[in-house]
Amino acid sequence: MTGQPASKPGTKPGTKYETDYVAWTREQAEMLRSRRWDSLDLDHLIEEIEDLGDNKLDAFEGALTRVVEHLLKLQHGKAAEPRRGWKISVATHRVNAARLLRRAKSLRKLADLDEIYADGRKLAAKSFESFGDTDPAILPAHCPYTLDQILDLDWLPENAGFPEPDSPERA
């Protein structure tokens, strides 16, 4: 969780959780270390632990969304100039996703590929609209990639090797 938590229903205004989140976390950690179970703020601790897992899932899905966006641009985009950057972005976000997976294998089962694809498709479509080089309507409605392909550091879709700017094929 980042920043100061917002007031939640059932939370007493002015509690340390509300007024000094960092102090609250340290206090809760000390109570856990000393096994003072009856002094713990269990409702907020439960919520914070769930948020920690959600943050990891959000990071994993965010990395996959960026991979999907750039795979779509590589496969369907006509622009030559940004292709190298898209390939670097794909590799970078795949490495980030793999690191998260090594630490939490359950992320693979929790990831919502339909949602990831929908978000990546929206981002690719926005980019195509902004630059006007490709009609966003050509993007597939459903994910054409498997999760294994999205995560595979060496896999790229067909047309990803569209001639690059200095390529003799562009002359």
> What are the tens digits of pLDDT across the range 5-43?
555 554 555 678 989 999 999 999 999 999 999 999 999
pTM exceeds 0.85: no
Residue 164 lies in a domain: no
pLDDT of residue 12: 53
Rounded CA-CA distance 2/58 in Å is 13
Residue 42 lies in a domain: no
What does 64-83 look like in DSSP terms, one character per residue?
HHHHHHHHHHHHH---STTH
pLDDT of residue 34: 97
Residue 9 lies in a domain: no
What pLDDT, in 10s, does the model give residues 46-105?
999 999 999 999 999 999 999 999 999 999 998 888 899 999 999 999 999 999 999 999
Residue 112 lies in a domain: yes
- The DSSP code for 145 is S
Q: Is 163 helix (H, G, I), strand (E, B) or coil?
A: coil
Residue 21 lies in a domain: no
Rounded CA-CA distance 63/95 in Å is 9
Residue 47 lies in a domain: no
Count of domains in the chain? 1
Domain membership of residue 140 as a residue range: 55-155
The token pair at 90 is: 């794909």
Residue 17 lies in a domain: no
